Amino acid sequence: MKLQKLMSLTRKAVDEFQMIQPGDKIAVGISGGKDSLTMLYALAGLRRFYPAPFSLEAITVSLGYEGFDLTPVKELCSELEVPYSVVNTDIAQIIFEERKEANPCSLCAKMRKGAFNEKAKELGCNKLAYAHHKDDVVETLLMSLILEGRIHTFSPVTYLDRMDLTLIRPLIYVDEADVKGFQNKYRLPVVKNPCPADGYTQREYAKELVAKLSHEHPGAKERIFTAILNGDLPSWKDRVPKKCRTKDAS
């Protein structure tokens, strides 16, 4: 996938769900993986010409693993002219050594988000950006159906009232396959996740399930995503397609 297509899909999400307003300062969550680095590229590119001026702050929450070298990410942020901060924590030690959590992902995510949100507030940001893509949207819906018995997936825009921050997900129209293509084409400096639980989660199960459904029923993922767009899920129903915006403007 070329940068032009990435920015086009990102702008589509930003416009249809009104993710960015003039003067926004957006904290971009950088894990070091392909998704977050692709989002960084997309928002840095969009920043140059988007009609609502906004600024960016890239933030990585380091869990405390030895040898987790973020130098390549720092160099990319410098190249894209995005300020970069690393929040050093002892999350890994707390979860795996002190608490010895059998199912560490939930607590880890909660602690990472807390550290990220606090740093974003410290830097004066009013919005957060997570790099969830279209596959993540569909996988989350399936996980909710199978594991929780409810029809739910995360929202494109979520207001976090306790922190007075708005969370946006600008990559919701981007397929994971295109993210992988972008990673290879632009040689993103991906930093391998050192977490021992990586690859053994419920999300990996959902990812395999979506792949199986798509193989046996070509187009299944797109139809599920369309059902989400056309459904009555919170926040998703606030979507304003381009043709509607044009009509309203006239």
Distance between CA 30 and CA 57 in Å, rounded?
Answer: 10
Distance between CA 226 and CA 232 in Å, rounded?
Answer: 12
Between 44-58, 80-94, 215-229, the lowest mean confidence (pLDDT) is in 80-94
- Which element (helix H / strand E) includes 84? strand 84-88
Angle between helices 176-186 and 34-47 (to 10 degrees): 80
Give the tens place of pLDDT for each residue, 65-114: 877 889 999 999 999 999 999 999 888 888 877 777 767 777 888 899 99
Give the tens place of pLDDT for each residue, 150-204: 999 999 999 999 999 999 999 999 999 999 999 999 999 999 877 776 655 778 8
Token pair for 214:
């798509």
Alpha-carbon 207 to chain mean position: 16
Give the tens place of pLDDT for each residue, 101-160: 767 777 888 899 999 999 999 999 999 999 999 999 999 999 999 989 999 999 999 999
Taken in order of first residue, the domains within the chain and their CATH numbers are: 3-244 (3.40.50.620)
Structure confidence at residue 47 (pLDDT): 96
Structure confidence at residue 243 (pLDDT): 65
Structure confidence at residue 137 (pLDDT): 97
